[in-house]
Every structure is written in structure tokens, then in C-alpha cells.
Amino acid sequence: MAGGSNTIRFIDHKVASPSFTELYGEGMQLVEETAAYLDGEGRREAKALVRPVATLYAAESMRLTTRLMQMASWLLLQRALANGEMTADQVDSEKSKIRLDGNAPGVELENWNALPEHFRILVQRSLRLQARMQRMDLNLAGDDMADDFGEGADNPVNTQINLLKTAFGDR
């Protein structure tokens, strides 16, 4: 309950939901898998690339790791909220430092298809997961904004109902 009213904060329930738990597991697994790839097989594959492709690989691997770190930060904040380790206000403050948008790879670039296949698959998986997180973040933000229309708040529906009551008398 928020602010002592009888408003239910759906955001608190969503971050504890099975869909969030699945997203969290998938995100953290992708972070680990990508780190292992970039430190092992990816490093070996990058050494065999010709200069223009190697330059693209370096740029895209930086974008990939940045994207994954942003996503992991968002997941950890949501988990901290679900576990009661942080308040919604603390999460909102920290979340303002996280970007779940941008950094899309140049799949239409000339050398994109010359990149190692495993690397391209990791990039695509990260983008799909990022899109899911963006949708969930918007969904959570929408529920959080809905909480602002609790009792005593400036609720547009209540405003219209009150106008009708005034016009027709409170029966």
C-alpha cells in the first residue's frame, strides 16, 4: 500500500512475478554467456578478422557490453525493489542513470555479415531482451503513474463523476 491509502501498488507485484523472474534469469545468463564468449572464443575469432571487420567487431562489442551492463543494472534495481532492499523512490532515482534504449548495431553496415556468427547471435539476443525490458519498464512506469491517481489525487474519472454529481445532484 502506498502512502497509507488503500491503493494497491501493482508495480510491487510485477517485479515479483514469474515473468520478471524469467526475464531476470535470461538477462543474467546472457551477460555471463557473452562475457565468456568475448573472453574466449570471441577473442580468438576477432584476431582472425580483417582490419575493417575487426574495427566493426570492436565497436559493436563495446556497444554490446554497454547494453548488457545497462540491462543488468535495470534488472538488479527491479530485484532490489522486489526484495525490499530499496524503496521505489530509490529505484527511480538510480533508474534515471540507466538507458534501455539506443546502441543498436549497424546490421545494414557493409561488414556486418562478416562478423562471427556467434557474436551476431549474441547481439540479436541482447536486442530482443532489451526490447522486452523496455516494454516491462514502460508497463511498470504506467502502473506506478496509475498509483498517482489514488484517493485524494486529481483523478480525471473522479473529476468527471463529481461534475455529474454536481449537475444532477448527489443521489
pLDDT the model gives residue 18 = 85
- pLDDT tens-digit series, residues 110-158: 899 999 999 999 999 999 999 999 998 888 776 554 444 444 445 566 6
| Residue corresponding to grid cell 498517482 | 148
Is pLDDT above 50 for 9?
no
Closest to 51 measured CA to CA, from 141, 128, 114: 114
Where does the pLDDT of residue 1 fall: very low under 50, low under 70, confident under 90, or very high at 90 and above?
very low
Residue 44 CB-density burial (10 A; 0-12 exposed, 13-18 middle, 19+ buried): exposed
Rounded Cα distance, 60 and 161, in Å: 54
- How far is Cα 66 from Cα 104, in angstroms, rounded to an integer? 11
Within a 10 A sphere around the Cβ of 143, how many other Cβ atoms? 16
Q: Would you kindly state where each structural domain of the chain is located, as residue ranges? A: 10-168
Pairwise CA distance, residues 45 & 2, whole Å: 52
More confident residue, 17 or 78: 78
pTM of this prediction? Answer: 0.73
pLDDT attached to residue 102: 66
* Amino acid 66: pLDDT: 93
pLDDT digits (tens, 9 = 90+) for 55-104: 999 999 999 999 999 999 999 999 998 888 999 899 989 998 998 886 56
CATH architecture designation of domain 10-168? Orthogonal Bundle (1.10)
Mind listing the pLDDT tens digit for each residue in 32-46? Answer: 999 999 999 999 999
